[in-house]
Amino acid sequence: MFFFDSTYILIIIGVILSGIASSFVKSTYKKYSSINNSKGYTATEVSRLILDNAGLQHVKIEAVRGDLTDHYDSSTDILRLSDTTRQSRSVAAIGVAAHEVGHAIQDQRNYIPLKLRSALVPATNFGQKISFPLILLGVIFSYNQTLINLGIIFFSIALLFQLVTLPVEFNASNRAVAILRDHQILSPNEVSQAKKVLSAAALTYVAAAIASFLQVLRLVLLFGGRRND
């Protein structure tokens, strides 16, 4: 006999939403990566300018391989800009770089959601490793609800991480847009274009949070209501 797990549709929905968000950010970035800023700045120059103005002269800028692999490493005070970003003069690249500088400014100002997200990384990694073995053990041992519930709780830490990530990323983007506008690094029209790139990128985090929620919901529907026989 074939058994159809109807809750699997939740995973499919999550995958579809993530795919749509990813495609949208790529198409938006591609569109505005062909538009160079009128002042001729490179993304690296903009990053250094914003960092210095924020009193973050100690933050180094390094290259990192990859496509849109840009990130700020708070443990080493290093801003890493990808191959597609660092020497680009496009409004898209400058928006991405300014966003990562926004994380450096968050770190400088002890932005609580950023600190909380960093603190959740070890727990999230551990939870992802231990959650399914616990659920599997619970099923093996005659649907031991204690083990199953523990597995679901550990898996839910990933959802918490995604939820905490939302304000961190939105705040970094808002800081970036404000700096680019207030310091007149980009023209008003270019700021609007950079904002569209960052808004598209933000959708990937929203999609990730929804996908995590749907995965937790699926586990609850499958195992949360079980009782020991």
The one-letter amino acid at 77: D
Q: What's the CA gap between 152 and 128, in Å, rounded?
A: 10
* Catalytic site includes residue 45: no
Name the active-site residue from 45, 62, 100, 190: 100
Q: What's the CA gap between 80 and 107, in Å, rounded?
A: 15
Name the β-bridge partners of 78: 60, 73
Q: What's the CA gap between 97 and 47, in Å, rounded?
A: 6
Q: What's the CA gap between 105 and 163, in Å, rounded?
A: 21
Q: Which residues contact 115 (CB under 8 A, 6 or more apart)?
A: none
Catalytic residue positions, numbered: 100
